[in-house]
Structure 1
Amino acid sequence: MKKTQLILIVVGIIAIAGLYALPSVVVDNEGEVNAISQDNAGAESSESNPVAMHEAELTPDQEAAVASLRGQLNQGNTANAVELLDSLGNIYQELGKYDSAGYYFAQAADESKSLALAEKAGESFYEAFTFALEAEKVAYTAEETRKYFNQVLEKDPTRLDLKTKVAMTYVSSSNPMQGITMLREILEQDPQNEDALFNMGILAIQSGQYKRASERFEELIKYHPQNLQGQFYLGVSYFEANQKNKAKAQFEAVKEMTGDEMILNSIQGYLDRL
């Protein structure tokens, strides 16, 4: 992934507990998707300009660069407006302030009608979406992600990587079924799609369908054996399904794939409970 952008491995049981913050959906039945429950995050964000909240986090050099770029924009430098907006977006992108980066990339994309800039805006908003906790921010960043990625998809519907991200924004909305349907459509087009298989596995874990989750992750690592997250969550799926021998073997295999202390500590936490 992009993902992403897009689900981090965290220590111990917290890794799985975090998944339960997602809306619950049933993903086992291939013929239908049943929503169990979801938060209605459809309200528009009250924060129309997310940049202000990040002003205090700029270094003096960054503040000077931002002030210079804004000054040129305020002077009506329309000939270079798109370049200036893109530069501002890049500054916030490097800082990891993705909603602020998206704000500027979006303005640049709207001004230029550039699909490349629309994709940059969508990527930034999607990154912000994956970290958002407040319902309004989740809804706002999800909506902006769809807006700009869909501009690219209208011209190039083969971009399944972007379609996967759009799907995941629906999963966290009041219409999760639309997201699951999109993921299935992606797998119909590309049964080996790494992002779609991973996300379907995560959603199965989140809805307590551990057998289905293990099937998804088995499929994922069959085609993408280097996907460390998939390997890890396959072990988690076995663990939660009470397949202790499989879980132990899988976690031991993942230990051989990484030296990351955080992942190793998380794995040891599961092994200690077997």
Structure 2
Amino acid sequence: MKKSQLILVALGIVSIIVLFSLPKVVVDNDATAAKVEESGDQSGPSSDVISESHENELSSENRNQADRLIQNFLSAPTNEEKVAAAQTLAGIYKEEGLFDSAAYYWDQVALTSPDNLSFAEEAGKASYEAFSFALDKKKVEALADKTRKYLSKVLEKDPNRLDLKTKIAMTYVSSANPMEGITMLREVLEKDPQNEDGLFNMGILSMQSGQYKKAAERFEELIKYHPQNVQGQFYLAVSYFESNEKNKAKAQFESVKKITQDPMIISSVQSYLDKL
């Protein structure tokens, strides 16, 4: 199985780990200020953090093609040829789960045509995907900055892109100013109370801050409108479990087992059921 497939299979479990690495913020009450329990180092990210190469980590089936494309990218006589090589490289790195390298090449594409909003959106989305998987603090900060830089350009032209606004919001949640992200997510839900990303992320953040009853309410709303959201179904069960609503938790975990074949999620579900 390729690295990208392994990473995507494990996403539901990895996100739980990442969840508890965020600053702890009260997100779902009537207070106007957030309480941050962990501030951490607030120094700025290094400008070259996300330009690290993963050339040696590529599988043999893509290694030779990537080598040729890198040479084409570095020696391309025109911007069009440079963009074509970078786009293909980004696709190769994404396929193999090397998301920060994919983001690096989309960044290069966007830099060649700073007024091209399509390139900006792709660069922002690639940066956000890499941000979602990053664990190193400086890399997280650098990728968050890139996400905001590019997606904000698109959002300025089209304020109705709530999907982009939720991504920007989540980059703020892990920053020194988490309340800005919470406020943006609330704005998304005010405009679209059924917004899938908004409900999911507010549920996740409520879990992270220990507000499990509030998290359950968010996930109940989520699966009411988006029953196919497997992670939402799973986190609803976890929220019931943490709220000591054992009957609801057991029923919800059993429901999750019926809607997914993901071995990682099934294993986690069973570990919870064994505790009930």
TM-score normalised by the chain length of structure 1: 0.88
- What whole-Å deviation, never above 9, does each CA across 1:142-197 have from its counterpart, x for those lacking one? 11111111111111111111110110000000000000000000000000000010
Indicate the residue corresponding to 2:177 in structure 1. Answer: 175
| Count of residue pairs the alignment pairs up | 266
C-alpha distance in 2, partners of 1:245/1:153?
Answer: 43
Indicate the residue corresponding to 1:8 in structure 2. Answer: 11
Indicate the residue corresponding to 1:101 in structure 2. Answer: 102
C-alpha distance in 1, partners of 2:12/2:71?
Answer: 41
Identity of aligned residues (%): 56
Q: How does 1:153-164 map to 2 (within 5 A)?
A: 153-164=155-166
Indicate the residue corresponding to 1:230 in structure 2. Answer: 232
CA contact (8 A) 2:109 2:119 kept: yes
Structure 1 residues 17 and 146 mapped into 2: Cα distance closer, same or farther (>3 Å)?
closer
What is the CA distance between 1:84 and its match in structure 2? Answer: 2.6
Indicate the residue corresponding to 1:127 in structure 2. Answer: 129
Residue number among 205, 213, 218 corresponding to 1:216 in the alignment: 218
Indicate the residue corresponding to 1:24 in structure 2. Answer: 24
Indicate the residue corresponding to 2:45 in structure 1. Answer: 45
Instruction: State the one-letter code of the partner of 1:231.
Output: Q
Indicate the residue corresponding to 1:69 in structure 2. Answer: 69
Structure 1 residues 64 and 250 mapped into 2: Cα distance closer, same or farther (>3 Å)?
closer
Indicate the residue corresponding to 2:269 in structure 1. Answer: 267
Structure 1 residues 272 and 193 mapped into 2: Cα distance closer, same or farther (>3 Å)?
same
C-alpha distance in 2, partners of 1:56/1:271?
Answer: 42
Structure 1: 5+ residue runs without aligned partners?
A: none
Task: Answer with 114-123 or 157-166: which moved more.
Answer: 114-123
Structure 1 residues 49 and 67 mapped into 2: Cα distance closer, same or farther (>3 Å)?
farther
Residue number among 255, 258, 271 corresponding to 1:256 in the alignment: 258
Indicate the residue corresponding to 1:56 in structure 2. Answer: 56
- Aligned-residue RMSD, C-alpha: 2.2
Instruction: State the one-letter code of the partner of 1:93.
Output: K
What is the CA distance between 1:52 and its match in structure 2? Answer: 4.2
Task: Answer with 196-205 or 67-76: which moved more.
Answer: 67-76
C-alpha distance in 1, partners of 2:101/2:41?
Answer: 20
SS in 1 for 2:159: coil
SS in 2 for 1:35: coil
C-alpha distance in 1, partners of 2:267/2:74?
Answer: 51
What is the CA distance between 1:62 and its match in structure 2? Answer: 3.5
TM-score normalised by the chain length of structure 2: 0.88
- What whole-Å deviation, never above 9, does each CA across 1:102-147 have from its counterpart, x for those lacking one? 1121121121232111111111111111111111011011111111
CA contact (8 A) 1:183 1:200 kept: yes
C-alpha distance in 1, partners of 2:15/2:142?
Answer: 25
Q: How does 1:78-157 map to 2 (within 5 A)?
A: 78-79=78-79, 80-112=81-113, 113-157=115-159
C-alpha distance in 1, partners of 2:46/2:224?
Answer: 44
Q: Does 1:242 align with 2:244?
A: yes
CA contact (8 A) 2:49 2:138 kept: no
CA contact (8 A) 1:41 1:139 kept: no
